[in-house]
Amino acid sequence: MLVYILENIITDTFEHQVGRNQAEQETPKAMWIQFHTSIDHDNEVGYRYRELLIFAEHNYIGVYTRDRWCVAGIEDEDYVEGENDWEVLSYHDSCWRTDGVRSFLLKYEDNLLTIGRLCQHWFEIKEMSEEEIAHLKDRRHQKYNYHR
C-alpha cells in the first residue's frame, strides 16, 4: 500500500511543481529524486543511490533511472565515484505513472532505504541543459528503436 501512496505523492508533485511541455519554458526543468540504497557492508563503505528523473519535454512524460555510487573497499582508502547511464522506464502521456514510477518503486522496494538528501527537500527541481535533453531523447530512441 505504501508504494501506491508514494507513487501518488511523486506523480502529483511532478504535475504541480514541474509539469508538461517544458520545451516551451525558457529553462526546462525536471523532477529529480535520489534514494539511498543498500551497500554491501561486508565488503565496502560509502554510499549508493538509485535516482529517478521525471521529465516532460512536450506532452509525453519520461521516467528515467540510474545508479550512482561513492564507495571504497573495506581495506581501500580511495573512494570510487561513478554512475550508470539513464535507463528509460517509461515514455507516455498517461501510463508513465504505472509503467514508470510504480514499476520503479515495486522493483526496488526492498533496496530503497531513504528518499531525498539530508537536510534538503525529498526531491529537487533540476534545470535541464540542451545536452541533457538530447541525451534523454537518444536513450528513448535506443529503447524504442526510433529512427531519425
Q: What's the pTM value of the predicted model, to 2 decimals? A: 0.92
Per-residue pLDDT tens digits for 23-66: 999 999 999 999 999 888 888 999 999 999 999 999 999 999 99
Cα–Cα distance, 121 to 56 (Å, whole number)? 21
Q: Where are the domains of the chain?
A: 2-144
Q: How many CB atoms lie within 10 A of CB 58?
A: 11
Task: Check residue 24 and give its pLDDT.
Answer: 95
Between 147 and 87, the more confident residue is 87
Task: Check residue 148 and give its pLDDT.
Answer: 52
Mean pLDDT rounded to a whole number for the chain: 93
Cβ-Cβ contacts under 8 Å for 119 (sequence gap 6 or more): none
Task: Check residue 41 and give its pLDDT.
Answer: 84
Mean pLDDT over 8-32 rounds to: 97
Per-residue pLDDT tens digits for 117-144: 755 789 999 999 999 999 999 999 999 8
Cα–Cα distance, 137 to 57 (Å, whole number)? 9
Mean pLDDT over 79-88 rounds to: 96
Task: Check residue 118 and give its pLDDT.
Answer: 55
Between 119 and 102, the more confident residue is 102
Q: What letter does residue 118 receive in the DSSP assignment?
A: T
Mean pLDDT over 90-113 rounds to: 95
Task: Give the torsion sign (CA, 69, 49, 92, 105).
Answer: positive
Give yes or no for residue 92 having a pLDDT over 70: yes
Burial class (CB in 10 A: 0-12, 13-18, 19+), 68: middle
Query: Burial code of 2-20, b = ≥16 C-beta within 10 A, e = fewer?
Result: eeeebbeebbebbeeebeb
Closest by Cα among 102, 112, 123 to 1: 102
